[in-house]
Chain A
Amino acid sequence: MSKITKMSGRGIYVQGNDIDTDRIIPARYLKCVTFDELGPALFYDERFHDSGESKGHVLDMPQFQGAEFIISDANFGCGSSREHAPQAIQKFGFKAVIAESFAEIFHGNCTTLGIPCLIMAKDARSALADLVQDNPQEEMFFDIETMQIIMLNQTFDFTMKESVREAFLSASYDPLDELMQNAEAVSLVAARLA
């Protein structure tokens, strides 16, 4: 685990409020015992007809191939706790998600996997989505220290929960090692609650 401070890459706008984890990854792809194969299943039913024919989803448009940041609207990732959803996002090649708000379990899952969820006010988020739509080949840069995204000389402010921001900046977003260090204190609580 290394610090996550700055990232750069191209964006893609996946429109919609309340994009749920069933849409991000349909339940039939949860039939697996590892997360390795989940990338191609991302947004599968949004992208393909039952016949396998493409629906022409934005994820499959040539100009957005290689995009690394998903931009969406409000309440992204609502629904189930399935970590398969952020795993599919990451394995497809995305590094961060930008939205007006996130469902909490999804947000927590992303953080642990090192996928920053950047929270942006509606107007700015909407302007950024427009900019990406019009300039699919242009990169954006974000900095968790300054909490700003820069694209084509325009600056967009975002927010993060302070503990999440700190976790990325201090390379502690996967908390397991730290949780394991406190085993003795944990055993005292366990004994008290027995």
Chain B
Amino acid sequence: MGNNLYQKIWENHVVGQLASGQFQLFIGLHLIHEVTSPQAFGMLRDKGLRVAYAERTFATVDHIIPTTDQSRPLKDDMAEKMIQVLSDASSDNGIEFFAPNSGRQGIVHVVGPELGLTQPGMTICCGDSHTSTHGAFGCIALGIGTSQVRDVLASQTLAMDPLKVRRIRIEGSLSAGVTAKDVTLHIIRTLGVNGGVGYAYEYAGEVIEAMSMEERMTVCNMSIEGGARCGYICPDDVTIEYLRGRERVPVGKEFEAAAEKWLSYRSDADAAFDDEILIQGDSIQPTVTWGVTPGQAISITELVPDPEAVSGLDRNLISDALAYMQLQANQPIDGVRIDVAFLGSCTNGRLSDFKEVAEYIKGRKVAGHVRALAVPGSEQVDLEARQLGLPEIFEAAGFEWRLPGCSMCLAMNPDKLVGDQVCASSSNRNFIGRQGSSTGRTILMSPAMVAAAAIEGKVSDVRTTFNLGTVK
């Protein structure tokens, strides 16, 4: 019996076993940002420790950075302080800091891959749950808390129990208008928001193999929303071609040697898995959330669920979610009026997302009552988008084209919903209050569906709005 990729990377990075029975796992790449890491440097100082492997650690700012005016000092004193503390700690410890206007700043999970820091076979950590994104390259990529950030800064290791591995095979192909985001929302809807607890998810099958790296990142990004500790995809030629020419990967013969090694990081053909799920790609429809967890999702053609159809706590969960979202049982989700359209985040803030939406909105106008934001995931995404003339297309359609950051995904910067506004969002969480207003309402969907919602002013089927063919 062969090994799966999780087992191979684990074996390759285990330092030893700890007294508790946990294992000490070496971390190849540590990404840090301004929200969860400054406190860790304070903890190090308290213990008289220093950063052990600064050359494996990279810092940037993304969560609190404004997307309109990033000139320093920032208008928000605490935001300025957070950036300054991270910047100072980075220079004190010899950590490379991708500052605003360096050309390398951006959402940490956009920056790592685009610079080529994220490479197959690695263990990667960051004090951010969406670190699972990096699994798209065939990595064990783990979101961690601040005390663990401290552990990794001080020792370049983590204390961990091994995970079980569930392979999720998505076979066949996707229909027109169905994207990687719909695939991941469909998986979470099917397996539940805690279905992945105790597991790493290996995504495989024809649908995954046919995806670009950016699409694969979208799928792996949302692993955590399904409760999985991480998610990954075995590297292939698509992975290698994405990495070729990136700033931080080797060149020439060294690249070819690295590529050969990277391609060896795969699950064996006879690898065992703790669980296996099969999903047919053509069964997946454009999918949107109706409630307050990413698992409370339906296809665009379905009706919002009826709490009376279930019993016990499930009934309360549905009725509470409907009350918060101000939706009625059995109403269509198609047609729900929106106030804001948000395109961005570590889930869907990459160049391909903006290129795709630009194709849809070119020559069209955002509905008059909708505030539409396009927030590139990084300075590099912004630059490449500008080279393609994308901001002009977005602005002509009525979108605001912003500076890079996490923005309205979690609204730690000034980009927030107001009151009970409804947001059609390409981000990853529709939790109560997530987008900056305690009564704000989020409907998660793909970038294409955000485009359709922005144009129509209401949740809409991308296939109808943009004439993509027959709606099943």
Report A's interface with B, CB cutoff 8 A. Answer: 16-18, 20, 22-23, 26-28, 30-35, 45, 50, 73-75, 78-83, 86, 101-105, 108-109, 112-113, 161-164, 166-167, 170, 172-176, 178-180, 182-183, 185-186, 189-190, 193
Contact = CB atoms under 8 A, between A and B. Distances in A.
Contacts of B155: 176, 179-180, 182-183, 186
B129 A22 contact: no
Given A82-B36, A112-B148, A172-B19, A31 B64 contact: yes
Q: How many of chain B's residues touch chain A, expressed as a range?
A: 35 or more
Interface in B56-110: 56, 63-64, 76, 78-79, 81-82, 85
Most chain A CB inside 10 Å of its own CB: which residue of B82, B295, B432: B432
A103 B198 CA distance: 9
A101 B145 contact: no
Most chain B CB inside 10 Å of its own CB: which residue of A81, A83, A183, A189: A81
Interface string B335-355: 000000000000000000000
B242 interface: no
B26 A189 contact: yes
Given A83-B146, A179-B157, A182-B24, A28 B431 contact: no
Interface in B155-195: 155-159, 161, 193-194
A166 B439 CA distance: 42
B37 to A, nearest CB: 10
A176 B154 contact: yes
Q: Which 10 A-B pairs have the closest CB atoms?
A: A109-B145, A83-B145, A175-B159, A75-B194, A83-B146, A45-B438, A167-B20, A81-B143, A179-B155, A81-B129
A190 B78 contact: no
B16 A75 contact: no
A193 B26 contact: yes
Contacts of B388: none
Contacts of A32: 78, 82
A169 to B, nearest CB: 9
Interface string B122-137: 0000011101000000
Given A105-B145, A109-B147, A186 B157 contact: yes
Contacts of B127: 81, 83
Contacts of A109: 145-148
A187 to B, nearest CB: 9
9 contacts: A30-B412, A45-B438, A80-B129, A80-B143, A82-B36, A161-B161, A176-B47, A178-B18, A189-B26
Contacts of A86: 145
Nearest to A76: B194
Most chain B CB inside 10 Å of its own CB: which residue of A26, A50, A78, A86: A78
B143 A83 contact: no
Given A81-B128, A112-B147, A183-B155, A166 B197 contact: no
A150 to B, nearest CB: 26
A161 B164 CA distance: 14
B141 interface: no
Contacts of B302: none
A30 B313 CA distance: 31
B151 interface: yes
Given A103-B227, A166-B19, A190-B156, A23 B433 contact: yes
Given A28-B411, A83-B146, A185-B15, 19 more contacts: A18-B193, A22-B431, A22-B434, A31-B78, A31-B79, A75-B194, A78-B194, A78-B227, A81-B145, A83-B145, A104-B229, A112-B145, A112-B148, A113-B147, A175-B151, A176-B154, A178-B24, A190-B53, A193-B28
Given A27-B436, A104-B198, A167-B20, A189 B13 contact: yes
